[in-house]
Amino acid sequence: MRARALENPVELILKKRDGKQLSDAEIQGLIAGYLDGRVADYQMSAWLMAALLRGLDERETAALTRAMLRSGKVLGLKSVTAPKIDKHSTGGVGDKISLCLAPLVAACGVVAPMIAGRGLGHTGGTLDKLEAIPGYRVELDPRRFERVLREVGASIIGQSSDIAPADRRLYALRDVTGTVESVPLIVASILSKKLATGSDGLVLDVKVGRGAFMQDLASARELGRALVRTARRAGLATVALITDMNAPIGRSIGNALETREAIDVLHDQGPSDTRELTLVLGEEMLVLARRTSSRRAARALLERALADGSALERFARMVRAHGGDARVAEHPERLPRARVRVPLLAKHSGTLSHVDAWELGWVSVALGAGRTRAEQAVDPGAGIELCRSAGERVGRGEPLAFLCAAKRSLIDAQLGRAQAAFRVGGRLTPHELVLERLTH
């Protein structure tokens, strides 16, 4: 079966086009053939579209995940004896949680090995935020990654060419062929990287709402359940939380701005929603690692690590181990700042009823904090500083936010769109941080 699949990939395209299931061997052969050149880009693109339209069942999704995982190295992390729990977010606006979460759980005795990504569309990327720290290197070889985990307990790196190379190539195709929004393909992409870290468990933050890729609860639930089922089928203990992404997380959007906010949380401060989501995800990681028997006990450990400074100390050690300027932990003013900062003023008084994460995400990209092309550089100081959150009152002429960029012209071009993202008056949009918890 595998030989036929490699000799004639058209058979597999037709089979999936007609809604038929592929065997594990056929999927493995398809991925292997694509990597060694026997399956052309246009053939793989056709198969991806067929998979999006016809779907993959749970077994096929698991087989695709395994094939992508086996296309590269799997990190054993044998010298790291403490429990290893990874965390992944499906992406949101203002989502800087990994930056404070990884050192926080490390301070509580749980190792956090994370392979993160760059900004995608209107959502920011953890790697871009870390690179706002002068000198921070997101590319570590496997030996150094393991050493940092062993000595510090937390390390956040990018996907190297050795880890799930099939995912890198397939995602590049999906991005330009309209096949990103397929739950099975998303699941295989995420888990092929997460399984490669050699973790003992995984906590997933599945975002839903205006600022997320999954904009309705049913889609987010489908993705969350598929991720949990496929990960558990691969032997990885997994929990997923569905969290609200209609409004930005915290008070900052943009790389250095969000890094500064994560540092505020590690100083036992920061916006209440950023702090709370960090603690909720930390609880799940500690319980999954069996560091505590309950989320309540986990909360007490996490709050103690914030209060006594041990989480901040772990962050500084992680930054130093990655070659970065660890002084930012105590002096976040060392992070880059935008040359121009312009207030966005409220046109009338009232209660702020809605802040549109989708619109502000794209405004932030236009200011320079994100990319519209893969090769594009980001401006680490660009972004948006929010002055008000939904439910708070604002007076006429008071700032709703500050727009930050390298040039005034970039800001002037976005003032109208940014203004429209804030609704003053009218019905308050309900906001609940965690909507559901999925274990199967």
Q: How many CB atoms lie within 10 A of CB 178?
A: 12
Which position among 95, 128, 167, 200 bears the catalytic label? Answer: 167
* Token pair of 164 as six digits: 């799930």
Active site residue 88: yes
Q: Which helix (H) or strand (E) holds 59?
A: helix 58-69
Which DSSP string do the residues of 136-171 spell out, in sequence order? ------HHHHHHHHHHTSEEEEEPPTTS-HHHHHHH
What are the E-state strand segments in 245-291? 252-253
Regarding beta strands 237-244 and 434-438, do their DSSP bridges make them parallel or antiparallel, or are they unpaired? Answer: antiparallel
Centroid of chain to Cα 250: 15
Which position among 84, 96, 193, 317 bears the catalytic label? Answer: 193
118 within 8 A of 129, measured Cβ to Cβ: no
Helix (H, G, I), strand (E, B) or coil at 428: coil
Sheet with 422-424: strands ordered across: 393-394, 350-355, 422-424
Active site residue 273: no
Active site residue 174: yes
Using CA atoms, how far apart are residues 245 and 356, in angstroms rounded to an integer? 9
Report phi then psi at 179, rounded to 5. -120, 25
* Token pair of 407 as six digits: 């040039």
Using CA atoms, how far apart are residues 13 and 20, in angstroms rounded to an integer? 10
Regarding beta strands 383-386 and 399-405, do their DSSP bridges make them parallel or antiparallel, or are they unpaired? Answer: antiparallel
376 within 8 A of 263, measured Cβ to Cβ: no
Using CA atoms, how far apart are residues 104 and 304, in angstroms rounded to an integer? 10
Q: Amino acid identity, residue 12? A: L
| Residue pointed to by tokens 């920011």 | 124
Which position among 71, 89, 189, 252 bears the catalytic label? Answer: 189
Of 95, 94, 112, 92, residue with least CA distance to 103? 112
Residue 295: CA count within 13 A, CB half-sphere: 8
Which position among 129, 174, 260, 354 bears the catalytic label? Answer: 174
Which position among 88, 96, 225, 314 bears the catalytic label? Answer: 88
- Catalytic residues, by residue number, are 88, 167, 174, 189, 193
